[in-house]
Chains A and B, each alone.
Chain A
Amino acid sequence: MAVVDYLETLLPQLVLIAFALLMPAMDYLFKKDKRVLSWIALVPLVSLACAMVSWLFMGVWKPSGAPIDVISVDQFSGLFTLVFLAVGIVVVLGSPEFIRADKNHGEYYSLILLAMVGMTVVAEASDLIALFVGLEIAGISSFALSGFRKSEKRSSEAATKYFIVGGFSSALTLFAISILYGIGGTTNIQALGSALGGASAPAWVQDSQSMVLLAVVLLFAGFGFKIAIVPFHMWAPDVYEGAPTPISGMLAAASKKMGFAAVFKVFLIGLLASKMQWEGAAAILAVLTMTVGNLVAVSQTNIKRMLAYSSIAQAGYILIALPVGTQYAVEGGLFHIITHAFMKSGAFMVVAAMGAAAVGERLDDFKGLGRRAPWLAFAMTLFLLSLAGIPPLAGFASKFVLFSSAVYASEAGPQWLVWLAIAGVLNSALSLYYYARVIKYMYMEKGPADKIAIPPMLKIAIAFAAVMVVLIGIYPDPVIRVCEHAAAIFTGLAPGV
């Protein structure tokens, strides 16, 4: 394979890296107005996002088919790349006003772009080592970003916590990878799937099922930390609360999704043969995650913590796709990942806007927001109702596909799967309580009378997310189609509807 082909396959990452290296230099060029930096950081994000949209939604072009053996560019990776880029756009738009008073703007944007590089590598990885490298690139950038306000105690604490947990989860993941390599003799996910499964597997693979199970447990823990599923979720609220708000948005809306890209690939391709062994555990973890996330969210008074727990709950919903394990379920999972990216990053940007206006991020600070900043409150209402799954918003459409996949699978296969849908639905009802409470505070409680001024770039970021939430809700068809194509790479699973 010619060098040019390598470069072409890696073009998105190369562009991001180039800009990431450029950003610190720009810091020196634009000393007066640091906002320019965010516009520069938007260049690669927006252009790559446009490229992805023109590929996935319009079919204008197609990536060249020749993959490097550790990376495969397909609709699945394209979809995730687009989600990461979209979140990146929202985060970068929301940042300049938020970090106005801080130093090191260049490094800030540089790290965001590098985190994007790591996430896209995870989405494209077809090899466990490449996957691990991607996880690390994204992880290390995110640790640094969480501690961006290094003079602030909360921020440093968040970074330290995140770093320790991240290191721990990496170790577990790596250990699991080494076990799988030892049994299967390969780190390629596809090859691993055939090595571990089927009647053709050699006898000693059959005999080492207990070791495979150990690897599964370790992976649940390792990835579980990344996507914050219960009981590996403790770090998430602290980190989200302490990190700069736009970064919290990135962690919730993008980093978490990176974990899901890894989980889907490893479990539904590499470990598909032992699905019988892990599907029960995955189902229990899914239900546990959504229930604990929602129950704890009810008692939160800090909006960022509440959103953190709501992210945990949403991760539980997405995790349903794993035990159900049909292409339709993965389609639903992907769809919910997309909608969650918009509604969650949008909600965090609203909190960031409150922070930028020096209002605060406690529930009490939202009192009377409907009068103080009508459009901001309206956007927040949209995000929260979408998170709760109220039609006709995006969150409803994706939950609909996701939960219905469990109902569908239960009618065709094991009946207990329907309980996943019921658990999801009951949790949605429960979650409505704390989402509605924020809305109640915004519209029904009396607050200070003064208006809040929102920085223009944050307005753009919030408006973008809000428009997407409404648009996908009203016309989900194109997005569902793209998810359907992306889910089709899981050839081992039962096809969609």
Chain B
Amino acid sequence: MLESVPIISIIILLPLVGAVATLLLGRREEYAKYVAAAFSGAALVLTVLVTLEFVIDPSTTAARGYHDGHGFFNYQYYESYPWVESLGISYIVGLDGISLPLFLLTALLSFLAIVFSWDTKLRPKEYFGLMQILEVGVLGVFVAQDYFVFYVFWEVVLIPMYFMIGVWGGPNKDYAAIKFFIYTHIASLAMLVSIMALYFQAGAHSFSMEAIALAGTTNFSRLFQIVVFAAMFFGFGVKMPMVPFHTWLPDAHVEAPTAGSVLLAGLLLKMGGYGIIRVAIPTLTAGAHELQILMAVIAIASILYGALLSLAQKDLKKMVAYSSISHMGFVLLGFATFSSLGIVAGVFQMFAHGLVTAVLFMMCGVVQHKCGTRLIPSLGGLSRKMPVASTMMTIGFLASLGLPGLVSFAAEFMVFASMFDKWAMWLFLPILSVAITAGYYLWALQRTMFGPLTTKIDTSHLHDVDWYEGVPVGILIALIALFGVFPSLIFQYINPAVQIVTHLLGGG
């Protein structure tokens, strides 16, 4: 049924219409959240329907080869319309097993972030309008199959995030907002030049990812592939973020409002990882092979360095922010193995990290909201006053440190397995992070939630989570448990698509 309508475009348009409607509300600002929730919710419902109707058929997918009918990756819900014909630009969107989980994650987290922000009093109209524009951009990035369209959506994401940090952020928001903007914009521009180079070198007079990748198999020299892959890797890597281009992230997170952090860590970081696996590796396989070791080294450095930095943080939110660097390193490490197992694990880790980190940032927001501070030394014994909040926080931390039965475990375990398969004993390096991660989470938990009740802040009026905070976190925790126990619910989508990537990389 959904195949008969341009369903992806409709899903992307819904929040856009919602954003315009929200911004045009005029003086009735208090309705902004209802409008935003309605449009974003509708997009979520449609996305869930799309997910349920998505055809998983690994046998035929492998048999059909990788360029048949609906695009390189056997895209479903494929739409293609000419846009700027003089330059060969088309509006092409489609979903495959790699993009679908992230598309679903985007719709889910955007909606939950809107619900979580129910209490926003400061300029709600603009706030909810920007949240929806952000959703449009991220949704678009995950479905675009034309480089130009991809880049447009990619940049659309920047502006609302800049405003979210700059208007609704913390005390140092000006610095953080501009740093975020400049860092990620420079990264985007590296990507832009790479896209231009790909377009002309392919000579296909088309910005379609598929056309360029097909032409590239014969037209891209080895040196060209290395240079362009390096530029793309930089562009996407800054977004992920990878060490040493990660410094914008903690600043942005510390200052961003909670929902902004949720979207930033939950979705925006995934754009970088998605770009590497969707664009850089399949299009420039020779370049990827040359830089494989570099990718692995950077991944391991991110994993360890992010974890060590987390250990040193006094601010709860900053700790979570640095942990994101560490966890996104697993994504890159999985990709760097070039094996089916590793890439599937990497994509799954993006999905898992999206769910888990959303919980963590939401709980940091709750602590900040109720206690007025996020500084670990000022907190303590909060479980006495906030049992529900501390339970949720504990589950979030445990999920993030990779407790079996929760979603991250499956992803991280598979990354380790694929790494061992490839580089054997070098596994000892990334696996060190498991201990560090457990260390900083449990230590933080002990100092904030348990022990004697803190006397450094006024705890007399402390109360537990509000409904608009508890419900989104509750939903996320349920999903974390669900996909932790049944990871194959998501694997079944990712697996066939990744086979095509590994096929392109040669071997599998």
A positions within 8 Å CB-CB of B: 385, 390-392, 396-397, 400-401, 403-404, 407-408, 411, 418, 421-422, 425-426, 428-429, 432-433, 436-437, 440, 443-444, 475-477, 480-481, 484, 497
Please tell me if the beta carbons of B200 and A425 are within 8 angstroms of each other in the complex: no
- Taken together as a complex, chains A and B put the C-alpha atoms of A421 and B158 apart, in Å, by 22
The 12 sampled A-B contact pairs (Cβ below 8 Å) are A385-B159, A390-B158, A391-B156, A397-B84, A400-B196, A407-B196, A408-B200, A411-B197, A426-B189, A428-B189, A443-B167, A475-B84
Please tell me if the beta carbons of B86 and A481 are within 8 angstroms of each other in the complex: yes
Known pairs A411-B200, A429-B189; A436 contacts B178 (CB<8 A): yes
- Taken together as a complex, chains A and B put the C-alpha atoms of A411 and B200 apart, in Å, by 8
Task: Point out the residues of chain B lying under 8 angstroms from A433, CB to CB.
Answer: 178, 182
Please tell me if the beta carbons of A440 and B86 are within 8 angstroms of each other in the complex: no
Q: Kindly state the interface size class of chain B when it binds its partner.
A: 35 or more
Report which residue of A397, A444, A477, A484 has the largest number of chain B beta carbons within 10 angstroms of its beta carbon.
A444
Indicate whether B289 reaches chain A with its CB closer than 8 angstroms. no
- Taken together as a complex, chains A and B put the C-alpha atoms of A475 and B200 apart, in Å, by 22
Expressed in whole angstroms, the minimum distance between the Cβ of A111 and any Cβ of chain B is: 38
Please tell me if the beta carbons of A390 and B189 are within 8 angstroms of each other in the complex: no
Indicate whether B155 reaches chain A with its CB closer than 8 angstroms. yes
Task: Point out the residues of chain B lying under 8 angstroms from A436, CB to CB.
Answer: 162, 178, 181
Task: Point out the residues of chain B lying under 8 angstroms from A385, CB to CB.
Answer: 159
Task: Point out the residues of chain B lying under 8 angstroms from A391, CB to CB.
Answer: 151-152, 155-156
Given contacts A428-B189, A432-B181, 12 further A-B contacts (CB under 8 A): A391-B156, A392-B152, A408-B200, A421-B196, A425-B190, A426-B189, A429-B186, A437-B178, A440-B166, A443-B163, A444-B166, A480-B87
Task: Point out the residues of chain B lying under 8 angstroms from A481, CB to CB.
Answer: 86
Determine the residue in chain B with the shortest Cβ distance to A371. B123
Please tell me if the beta carbons of B201 and A411 are within 8 angstroms of each other in the complex: yes
Task: Point out the residues of chain A lying under 8 angstroms from B197, CB to CB.
Answer: 407, 411, 418
Q: Chain A's interface: helix, strand, loop or mixed, by majority? A: helix
Known pairs A433-B182, A436-B181, A440-B174; A407 contacts B200 (CB<8 A): yes
- Taken together as a complex, chains A and B put the C-alpha atoms of A350 and B177 apart, in Å, by 25
Expressed in whole angstroms, the minimum distance between the Cβ of B12 and any Cβ of chain A is: 13
Determine the residue in chain A with the shortest Cβ distance to B186. A429
- Taken together as a complex, chains A and B put the C-alpha atoms of A421 and B231 apart, in Å, by 14
| B176-222 residues at the A interface, CB under 8 angstroms | 177-178, 181-182, 185-186, 189-190, 192-193, 196-197, 199-201, 205
- Taken together as a complex, chains A and B put the C-alpha atoms of A475 and B83 apart, in Å, by 7
Pick the contact of B193 from A407, A437, A443 — CB < 8 Å? Answer: A407
Expressed in whole angstroms, the minimum distance between the Cβ of B105 and any Cβ of chain A is: 24
Please tell me if the beta carbons of B155 and A390 are within 8 angstroms of each other in the complex: yes
- Taken together as a complex, chains A and B put the C-alpha atoms of A255 and B47 apart, in Å, by 52
Please tell me if the beta carbons of A404 and B200 are within 8 angstroms of each other in the complex: yes
Expressed in whole angstroms, the minimum distance between the Cβ of A398 and any Cβ of chain B is: 12
Task: Point out the residues of chain B lying under 8 angstroms from A437, CB to CB.
Answer: 178
Known pairs A385-B159, A497-B205; A480 contacts B167 (CB<8 A): no
Known pairs A440-B166, A440-B177, A477-B85; A404 contacts B182 (CB<8 A): no
Report which residue of A385, A407, A411, A428 has the largest number of chain B beta carbons within 10 angstroms of its beta carbon.
A407
Determine the residue in chain A with the shortest Cβ distance to B84. A477
Task: Point out the residues of chain B lying under 8 angstroms from A443, CB to CB.
Answer: 126, 163, 166-167
Determine the residue in chain A with the shortest Cβ distance to B158. A390
| B255-270 residues at the A interface, CB under 8 angstroms | none
- Taken together as a complex, chains A and B put the C-alpha atoms of A397 and B84 apart, in Å, by 10
Task: Point out the residues of chain A lying under 8 angstroms from B156, CB to CB.
Answer: 391-392
In the complex, the 4 A-B pairs of residues with the closest C-beta atoms, listed nearest first: A391-B152, A404-B196, A407-B196, A425-B189
Please tell me if the beta carbons of B85 and A422 are within 8 angstroms of each other in the complex: no
Please tell me if the beta carbons of B193 and A403 are within 8 angstroms of each other in the complex: yes
Pick the contact of A404 from B84, B174, B199 — CB < 8 Å? Answer: B199
Task: Point out the residues of chain A lying under 8 angstroms from B167, CB to CB.
Answer: 443-444
Determine the residue in chain A with the shortest Cβ distance to B169. A444
Determine the residue in chain A with the shortest Cβ distance to B199. A404
- Taken together as a complex, chains A and B put the C-alpha atoms of A191 and B304 apart, in Å, by 69
Expressed in whole angstroms, the minimum distance between the Cβ of B153 and any Cβ of chain A is: 8
Determine the residue in chain B with the shortest Cβ distance to A433. B182
Determine the residue in chain B with the shortest Cβ distance to A391. B152
Determine the residue in chain A with the shortest Cβ distance to B194. A407
- Taken together as a complex, chains A and B put the C-alpha atoms of A401 and B89 apart, in Å, by 12
Determine the residue in chain A with the shortest Cβ distance to B173. A444
Task: Point out the residues of chain B lying under 8 angstroms from A407, CB to CB.
Answer: 193, 196-197, 200
Known pairs A476-B84, A477-B84; A425 contacts B152 (CB<8 A): no
- Taken together as a complex, chains A and B put the C-alpha atoms of A390 and B200 apart, in Å, by 22
Expressed in whole angstroms, the minimum distance between the Cβ of A312 and any Cβ of chain B is: 20
- Taken together as a complex, chains A and B put the C-alpha atoms of A440 and B181 apart, in Å, by 12
- Taken together as a complex, chains A and B put the C-alpha atoms of A411 and B202 apart, in Å, by 11
Pick the contact of B178 from A411, A421, A440 — CB < 8 Å? Answer: A440
Task: Point out the residues of chain A lying under 8 angstroms from B173, CB to CB.
Answer: 444
Expressed in whole angstroms, the minimum distance between the Cβ of B414 and any Cβ of chain A is: 36
- Taken together as a complex, chains A and B put the C-alpha atoms of A290 and B186 apart, in Å, by 17
- Taken together as a complex, chains A and B put the C-alpha atoms of A476 and B85 apart, in Å, by 9
Task: Point out the residues of chain B lying under 8 angstroms from A480, CB to CB.
Answer: 84, 86-87
Expressed in whole angstroms, the minimum distance between the Cβ of B473 and any Cβ of chain A is: 29
**Per-residue CB proximity of B133-173 to A under 8 Å, as 1/0?**
00000000000000010011001101100110011000001
Please tell me if the beta carbons of A403 and B196 are within 8 angstroms of each other in the complex: yes
- Taken together as a complex, chains A and B put the C-alpha atoms of A426 and B193 apart, in Å, by 10
Known pairs A408-B200, A440-B177, A444-B166; A401 contacts B87 (CB<8 A): yes
Task: Point out the residues of chain B lying under 8 angstroms from A404, CB to CB.
Answer: 196, 199-200
Determine the residue in chain B with the shortest Cβ distance to A429. B186
- Taken together as a complex, chains A and B put the C-alpha atoms of A497 and B201 apart, in Å, by 12
Determine the residue in chain B with the shortest Cβ distance to A404. B196
Please tell me if the beta carbons of A425 and B86 are within 8 angstroms of each other in the complex: no
Determine the residue in chain A with the shortest Cβ distance to B85. A477
Expressed in whole angstroms, the minimum distance between the Cβ of A102 and any Cβ of chain B is: 37
- Taken together as a complex, chains A and B put the C-alpha atoms of A480 and B83 apart, in Å, by 12
| B72-103 residues at the A interface, CB under 8 angstroms | 83-87
Please tell me if the beta carbons of A444 and B174 are within 8 angstroms of each other in the complex: yes
Please tell me if the beta carbons of B159 and A390 are within 8 angstroms of each other in the complex: yes
Determine the residue in chain B with the shortest Cβ distance to A427. B189
Expressed in whole angstroms, the minimum distance between the Cβ of B216 and any Cβ of chain A is: 13
Report which residue of B84, B181, B182, B199 has the largest number of chain A beta carbons within 10 angstroms of its beta carbon.
B84
Task: Point out the residues of chain B lying under 8 angstroms from A444, CB to CB.
Answer: 163, 166-167, 173-174, 177
- Taken together as a complex, chains A and B put the C-alpha atoms of A444 and B84 apart, in Å, by 36
Determine the residue in chain B with the shortest Cβ distance to A484. B86
- Taken together as a complex, chains A and B put the C-alpha atoms of A11 and B440 apart, in Å, by 79
- Taken together as a complex, chains A and B put the C-alpha atoms of A162 and B181 apart, in Å, by 37
- Taken together as a complex, chains A and B put the C-alpha atoms of A411 and B198 apart, in Å, by 10
- Taken together as a complex, chains A and B put the C-alpha atoms of A428 and B190 apart, in Å, by 12
Expressed in whole angstroms, the minimum distance between the Cβ of B476 and any Cβ of chain A is: 30
Expressed in whole angstroms, the minimum distance between the Cβ of A282 and any Cβ of chain B is: 21
- Taken together as a complex, chains A and B put the C-alpha atoms of A169 and B290 apart, in Å, by 54
- Taken together as a complex, chains A and B put the C-alpha atoms of A475 and B86 apart, in Å, by 11
Task: Point out the residues of chain A lying under 8 angstroms from B199, CB to CB.
Answer: 404
Task: Point out the residues of chain A lying under 8 angstroms from B178, CB to CB.
Answer: 433, 436-437, 440
Task: Point out the residues of chain A lying under 8 angstroms from B196, CB to CB.
Answer: 400, 403-404, 407-408, 421
Please tell me if the beta carbons of B86 and A477 are within 8 angstroms of each other in the complex: yes
- Taken together as a complex, chains A and B put the C-alpha atoms of A408 and B193 apart, in Å, by 11
Task: Point out the residues of chain A lying under 8 angstroms from B155, CB to CB.
Answer: 390-391, 396
Expressed in whole angstroms, the minimum distance between the Cβ of A481 and any Cβ of chain B is: 5
- Taken together as a complex, chains A and B put the C-alpha atoms of A389 and B197 apart, in Å, by 18
Expressed in whole angstroms, the minimum distance between the Cβ of B296 and any Cβ of chain A is: 28
Please tell me if the beta carbons of B192 and A425 are within 8 angstroms of each other in the complex: yes
Expressed in whole angstroms, the minimum distance between the Cβ of A138 and any Cβ of chain B is: 31
